Amino acid sequence: MCELSDILEISQPNISKNLSKLRDQDLVSSEKNDKFVLYKLKTGNDVLKREVNDILENLENYPQLMADQKRKSDNEKLLAPCCMRVKKKTIE
């Protein structure tokens, strides 16, 4: 949730509310993993899959999404050392 909040520049309660709505519409699934909840887009919905693919193929038409993607990339670079330590602990 905090990663999405940073990337999208939206409060965590607002993200939680929106993820709940997506889950209620059966568009995302959630799975508890230790103290985190992992959310995943369900790909069984062909209409949703086409829409997402269309957006990804035409990302230049969506400046907000491009900015979000850049923030995500920047966050991944910043958090990479920390995330690797967490992954090692969960693997051992």
CATH number, domain of 78, equals 1.10.10
Tens digits of residue pLDDT in 2-24: 778 877 888 989 998 999 999 99
**Number of domain units in the chain:** 1
Tens digits of residue pLDDT in 28-41: 998 888 888 888 88
Structural domain including 24 reads: 2-91
The rounded mean pLDDT for the chain is 80
Cross-strand bridge partners of residue 39: 30
**HEC profile of 14-81:** HHHHHHHHHHHCCCEEEEEECCEEEEEECCCCHHHHHHHHHHHHCHHHCHHHHHHHHHHHHHHHHHHH
Q: Is the pLDDT of residue 89 over 80?
A: no
The winner for highest mean pLDDT among 33-37, 73-77, 82-86 is 33-37
Tokens standing for 3? 């990663």
Helix (H, G, I), strand (E, B) or coil at 9: coil
